[in-house]
Amino acid sequence: MTPSPFGSSLRKDFFLEEDYTPLNHGSYGTYPRSVRPVLRHYQELAEQFPDRWSRFDMYPELRKNRELLGNLFHCDADELVFSPNASAAANTILRSFPFEQGDKVLYFATAYANVNSTLEFIRDHHKVELVKIELDYPLSDAAIVDLVHETLAAEKSKPGRPIRASVIDVLSSLPGVLFPYEAVNRICQDNGIITIIDGAHAAGQVPLDLHKTDPDFFFTNCHKWLFVPRGFAIIYVPRRNQGYIHPHTVNVAYRPHTEGTDTSSFEKEFASPGTIDHAQYFCVAEALKYRESLGGEEAIMQHNHDLAVRGGALVADILGTTVMENEDRTLTAAMVNVELPLKKDLALAPGDIATTFIKKLIYEHKTMASPFYNNGKWWVRLCAQVYVDLDDFKTGGEAILKTCQEINSL
């Protein structure tokens, strides 16, 4: 039998500290050592002759990297632009889309904190109305689809403007679960609602086919699961909508548009966000090369999923609790969520529980997994990755158990 290329022996390929048990890849990501020389090379190129590089030579290189990502995500390079991270991407789309006063925006209670705040910002500054759907997990995909149908029907019967846009996760952050984003995208579009898909965790964790899904707007981090250096996200905008948005750093290429289909300045507006270090944007080929050396996208995703399932079961066993899953087992991709054995009547405020938990894991146990509250219970999200194995889940699970016991006795 060929030995598995995956597991803690791969840790040497990354910069991770030797005695760190890395179970939280999802928050910030990290990239392999082999990508670092490429990053440095492009930083040096930019310094050798700054004018030549920044005015001319950089652009064809940026284009090549957009093409590589277009191939990976099944869309055209012309439909992809760079953004420093998913929070910036959400701001770009939500703050430049031409909402009208009273438009409604549909979103889910599990939306990422920064996205949530951006929605509150447009509520306060563009006078849109927010329509929230609560999600108490574990939920089946069918139950989520039902909630969407029910909400749309209820909103239709209300006076005022209709729902104009929706914000939909591919995988929500906390809980770290797969969301039926393709089905919800379709339902929203069938109801004339623009879809903005937050795929912050998607690239490198789940396969993407953007032309097939056909969202109105989509963004994903590449610095989380795809192994390129931070900060690296891309925004996908099909040509029909490119006239609707502008980068949030407006620059000399800005042109006003009245139609979404006006593509005339989209690429130029996003190409020059002022003077910044773009070096991470040139690292796509090297990151993909490393991923190929491990067997490629499918092998990585399969390993991470299998490990998340087995690791989650092991941690639930150690904690004496359960994994957050539904009957069809659609919630777990490479992140798994396990209930925490915390008392119901803790004296600490929820924010203090989370901070105490995180600090203890980081500083006393040299590991990390994100705690969160959903459906009346505390849970923890654990991430599988190519450099993680089952023993890491055991170490993490034992640290989590001790931490919960200590918090229970505070």
Ligand X SMILES: Cc1ncc(COP(=O)(O)O)c(C=O)c1O
Q: Which residues bind ligand X (CB under 6 A)?
A: 27, 85-87, 112, 114-115, 169, 172-173, 198, 200-201, 221
What does the alpha-carbon distance between residue 55 and residue 272 come to, in Å, rounded to a whole number?
10
Say if strands 194-198 and 217-221 run parallel, antiparallel, or are unpaired.
Answer: parallel
- Nearest distance from residue 102's CB to ligand X, in Å? 26
- Nearest distance from residue 235's CB to ligand X, in Å? 12
In which residue are the tokens 């016991």 written?
Answer: 405
Q: Which contiguous run of DSSP H or E holds residue 105?
A: strand 104-108
- Nearest distance from residue 2's CB to ligand X, in Å? 34
DSSP letters along 354-386, please? HHHHHHIIIIIHSEE-EEEEETTEEEEEEE--T
The arrangement of strands across the sheet holding 163-169 comes to 80-83, 233-236, 217-221, 194-198, 163-169, 104-108, 129-133
Q: Which is nearer to ligand X, 85 or 263 (CB)?
A: 85
- Nearest distance from residue 28's CB to ligand X, in Å? 8
With 0-12 / 13-18 / 19 or more C-beta atoms within 10 angstroms meaning exposed / middle / buried, residue 356 is middle
- Nearest distance from residue 237's CB to ligand X, in Å? 17
Alpha-carbon torsion angle 29, 349, 317, 409, nearest 10 = 130
Q: Is the dihedral of CA 38, 40, 44, 46 positive or negative?
A: positive
- Nearest distance from residue 203's CB to ligand X, in Å? 11
Structure tokens at 104: 């409604």
For the chain, the residue count is 410
CA angle centred on 171, ends 267 and 247, rounded to 5°: 20
Q: Which is nearer to ligand X, 384 or 404 (CB)?
A: 384
Q: Which is nearer to ligand X, 86 or 407 (CB)?
A: 86
- For residue 221, the SS3 value is strand
Q: Which residues does residue 221 pair with via DSSP β-bridges, in sequence order?
A: 233
- Give yes or no for a contact between 307 and 152, defined as CB atoms under 8 angstroms apart: no
Q: Which is nearer to ligand X, 176 or 243 (CB)?
A: 176
Residue 180: CB atoms within 10 A of its CB come to 20
DSSP annotation of 219: E
- Nearest distance from residue 132's CB to ligand X, in Å? 16
Q: Which is nearer to ligand X, 220 or 321 (CB)?
A: 220
Give 40's contacts (C-beta < 8 A, 6+ positions apart): 279
Q: Which is nearer to ligand X, 194 or 200 (CB)?
A: 200
Q: Which is nearer to ligand X, 9 or 117 (CB)?
A: 117
Phi-psi domain of 405 (left: phi exceeds 0; alpha: psi -120 through 50; beta: other): alpha
Q: Which is nearer to ligand X, 175 or 243 (CB)?
A: 175
What does the alpha-carbon distance between residue 147 and residue 134 come to, in Å, rounded to a whole number?
9
Q: Which is nearer to ligand X, 185 or 321 (CB)?
A: 185
Q: Which is nearer to ligand X, 34 or 114 (CB)?
A: 114
Query: Shortest Cβ contact with ligand X: which residue?
Result: 173
- Nearest distance from residue 108's CB to ligand X, in Å? 10
